[in-house]
Amino acid sequence: MYLKTLLVLIKRNIFVFCKDKANLFYSSLSMLIIIMLMLVFLGNMNVDMVNGSLRDADKMMQGVTLPMDQLMEGDRDSSKDDANARNLVLSMIIAGLTVVNGVTVSLGVIGLMVEDEAQNRLSSFYVSPVSRSVLVLAYILAAFILSIAFGVVTVLISEVVLVMSGGTMLTTIQLIKVSGLIILNSFSATCFMFFLSTFAHSLSAYSGLSTLVGTLVGFISGMYLPMGVLPETVKKVLVLFPICSGSAWMREVFTEEAAARTFAGLPKQGLEFYREYSGITLKFADMEISNLIKFLILFGSGILFIIISAIILRKKNVRDR
C-alpha cells in the first residue's frame, strides 16, 4: 500500500510538471542562455584559448628534445588544430549542459511542492490517510527521476550533434561513467534544491529563488568563465559547491578522447595546464581534488541536505500543530 501510493504520487508529480509547457521552458532556460552565449561569443573565445595553448606548446618544443614519457601519445598535426579545438570545446559544453540541466529540472519539479502548498492542495493531501513523509518523498523522487531523464536526453542529443560536427562518440566505458555521474549529480542537485525549498513558502519567494539559482548555476559550474581567470579566493569558494565538482568530473570524462587528440605529440605539461585553467582539474590550496573526494562531496552533500531538510520540516510540523 505504501509503495503503491508513493508510485501514484510520483507519477502525478511527473505528469503535472511535464504537462505544463512553461515548466519545461523555464527548466531549460539556463541551458538555452548558455547555448546562446556559446554561439555568440564564448564558444569562439574558448576555441581561440585552446589554439593559443597549442601555439604556446609548439614554442616550448622548438629547439628542445623531450623524452617520450613527457609527451602525449600520437603525432602532432597542426593542420587539425582548429577542428580538434572545436571538438574539445563542444565536449566541454555538453558536459556542462548535462550538469546544469540536472540542477534546473530538479529545481522546477521541487517547485511543484511549493506551488501545491501555496494553492492549498497539500491541505487536501494532509487530510487523506497518506503520511507527510510519503508526500515529500514523492516530490523528491519525481525530481530525481526527471533530472536523470533530462540529463540522458541531453547527452543523447548532444552526442548526435557532436558526431555530425566531426567529433567522436563516447566509448561504452565512458557512457557508463557519464550515466553514473548523471545519477550522482541528479541526487546531489535534487537534495540541495529540496533543502532550498524549505525556506520558500510562496510562489513569489520560490520564483526569486529559481531566478537566483538559474543565474548562478552557469557561473558555479564553470560554463561562463574558466577557473583560470578567477581569483584564488573565488576558486577556493567555488570548489566547495557540489555542482563545481560534478561539472569538473563530467568534463573530465567527456573531454578524455578530445583532449588526447588535440594535444597529441605535445608536452603533457601543456594539457595539464589547460585542464587546470578550464576547470577540468580542481585544486584546493595547491592540492588536486581527486575523483574520490568529488564523489564524497556530491554524495555526502546530498545526504547532509536531506538530513537538514528533515529537521527543518519536523520543526515546522511541530509548530503547525
Helices (H), the chain: 2-19, 21-27, 29-37, 43-61, 81-118, 121-126, 132-164, 172-197, 203-220, 232-238, 242-254, 256-262, 268-278, 291-320
Phi/psi at 288 (nearest 5 deg)? -70, 135
Task: Please report the pLDDT score of residue 34 as a whole number.
Answer: 72
pLDDT of 257 over the 70 cut:
yes
The pLDDT tens digits for 147-192 are 999 889 888 888 888 888 777 788 889 999 999 999 999 999 999 9
Instruction: Convert the pLDDT of each residue in 186-211 to its tens digit.
Output: 999 999 989 988 887 777 888 888 87
pLDDT tens readout for residues 204-233: 888 888 878 877 888 888 877 788 888 888
Centre a 10 Å sphere on the Cβ of residue 78 and count the other Cβ atoms it contains: 12
pLDDT score, position 248: 92
Yes or no: say if 275 and 161 are a contact pair by the CB < 8 Å rule.
Answer: no
pTM of the predicted structure, to 2 decimals: 0.89
Residue 40: predicted pLDDT: 65
What is the per-residue pLDDT for 321?
45
Q: How far is CA 51 from CA 64, 74, 108, 276, in A?
A: 21, 18, 38, 16
* Average pLDDT in the chain: 83
Cα–Cα distance measured from residue 272 to residue 277, given in angstroms and rounded to the nearest whole number: 9
